[in-house]
Amino acid sequence: MALSTLPAWAQSGPFDGGWRLEPGASSLQFQSIKNGSTIETSSFATMSGEIAPDGAATMTVLLDSVDTKVDLRNVRMRFLFFETFQFPEAKVSTRIDPAMVADLATVRRKTVDLPFTLSMHGVTRDLTASVALTLIGGDLIAVSTAEPINLQVADFNLMEGLEKLQEAADVTIVPSSTVSFDLIFRRGEQSTPVQTVAAAAKPASAALEPQGNFDLEACTGRFEILSRTGNIYFKPGSARLDNASTPLLDSVYDIISRCPGLRIQIAGHTDSIGSASANQSLSERRAASVVEFLTGKGLDRNRMISVGLGEAQPVADNDTDAGRSRNRRIEFSVADS
């Protein structure tokens, strides 16, 4: 590194002018362990961030950009684990004391313990990370994990999502993950908002849901995953959709829209409380309510078939509250020709 690049750092505040994240030169990964010993590394492809002149630093990660290198595994992570239709982003915030890095122009690299706040899935936690700061030049700084950060699934209310993920993939997953990152910040321009970054990103590099229509395999896989979410709600004993169902049903609409030529079966299921005939009727009306919602958004009603299966096909024990909750569900599938 040429000494001529350092005067701007040494003669002014370390973060004067602000710094923005260079997403193309940065990486964020997490590791998980399944079936006791298999380690899998996944990443996020779309993020934005900045360091303000006073050292306040923020980073936003688009959770829909989770990249496991397998399409349907990505979809499971979005819908079943992160529930991105309701919680689309993770946000990190911290403050780097300018005095802490005033000597970086001289030492060039140092490791600090940095408190930070992570907000994800509706939960905010205060954590600390060991972070290496490296001054690459007068206008570039690298921020990376000196040690992986351990996150507990339960701390972010993600245990239910983990259980859905395990059942869908037929694996066991350790309920914690280690996170590491290598981030590059450049002095100058303000950070591009994450929504703009996401819109401009190419699916091949951003791991976002690909544009255009899906083939039969992709449609079938997505309907199976949507059926496991459990995020379609009705008033007790009623076929009236709760407003909390809207985020997921908006995603259902998008996916069905991109499966042209297919007829979709929407099936209602109930628990075993009440008479079998009443449950049969309720399941039929609930499935019809979902069709009505999707028709209202613009889907052709002739592309959808609603059926009610009552209490006949439970997926869990009706003797427990948790089991009954799982049995009250809406399932999506490609209808038989």
Q: What is the pLDDT of residues 140-174, one digit of tens each?
A: 999 999 999 999 999 999 999 999 999 999 999 99
Give the model's pLDDT for residue 15. Answer: 85
Q: What is the pTM of this model?
A: 0.90
How far apart (Å, rounded) are the C-alpha atoms in residues 168 and 164?
A: 6
Query: What 3-state class would DSSP assign to 109?
Result: strand
Phi then psi for 190, rounded to 5 degrees? Answer: -70, 150
Q: Over the range 72-81, which residues count as b (16 or more CB within 10 Å of their CB) and which as e?
A: bbbbbbbbbb
Between strands 19-21 and 176-187, the pairing is antiparallel
Mean pLDDT rounded to a whole number for the chain = 90
Domains 3-203 and 216-334 fall in the same CATH topology: no
- Per-domain boundaries in the chain: 3-203, 216-334
Percentage above 90 pLDDT, the chain: 81
Q: Is residue 21 within 8 Å of 58, Cβ to Cβ?
A: no
pLDDT of residue 188: 82
Residue 4 pLDDT class (50, 70, 90 cuts): very low
* pLDDT tier at 337, thresholds 50, 70, 90: low
DSSP state of 335: P
Structural element, H or E, at residue 89 = strand 89-95
Rg (the chain; Cα; Å)? 24
288 pLDDT tier (thresholds 50, 70, 90) = very high
> Taking phi first (over 0 means left), then psi (-120 to 50 degrees means alpha), and beta for anything else, what does residue 70 get?
beta
Phi-psi category of 80—alpha, beta or left, where left has phi over 0 and alpha has psi -120 to 50?
A: alpha
Please list, in sequence order, all residues whose beta carbon lies within 8 angstroms of the beta carbon of residue 104, skipping any fewer than 6 positions away: 9, 14, 110, 133, 135, 141
Q: In this model, does residue 8 exceed pLDDT 70?
A: no
Confidence of residue 3 (pLDDT cuts 50, 70, 90): very low
How is domain 3-203 classified at the architecture level of CATH? Beta Barrel (2.40)
| Cα four-point dihedral sign 69, 72, 77, 78 | positive
Per-residue confidence band for 209, with pLDDT thresholds at 50, 70 and 90: confident
Helix axes 246-257, 216-226, angle to 10 degrees: 170
pLDDT above 70: percentage of residues in the chain: 90
The CATH code of the domain at 216-334 is 3.30.1330.60
Query: Measured between alpha carbons, how far is 118 from 149 in angstroms, rounded to an integer?
Result: 12
pLDDT one-digit tens code per residue, 58-110:
999 999 999 999 999 999 999 999 999 999 999 999 999 988 888 988 899 99
**Amino acid at the residue 5:** T
pLDDT beyond 50 at 292:
yes
- Residue 200 pLDDT > 90: no
DSSP code at position 236: T
**Helix 276-296 and helix 246-257: axis angle, to 10°?**
70
Distance CA 315, CA 131 (A): 46
Rounded distance between C-alpha atoms, residue 162 and residue 173, angstroms: 8
Alpha helix (H) residue ranges in the chain: 7-11, 71-76, 104-107, 159-169, 194-200, 203-206, 216-226, 246-257, 276-296, 321-327
In the block, tokens 């350092």 appear at 6
Mean pLDDT of 116-138: 95
pLDDT higher than 80, residue 199: no
Sorting pLDDT into bands at 50, 70 and 90, what band is 189? low
CA–CA distance, 37 with 39 (Å, rounded to integer): 6
Q: Is the pLDDT of residue 5 over 90?
A: no
Per-residue model confidence (pLDDT) at position 207 = 54
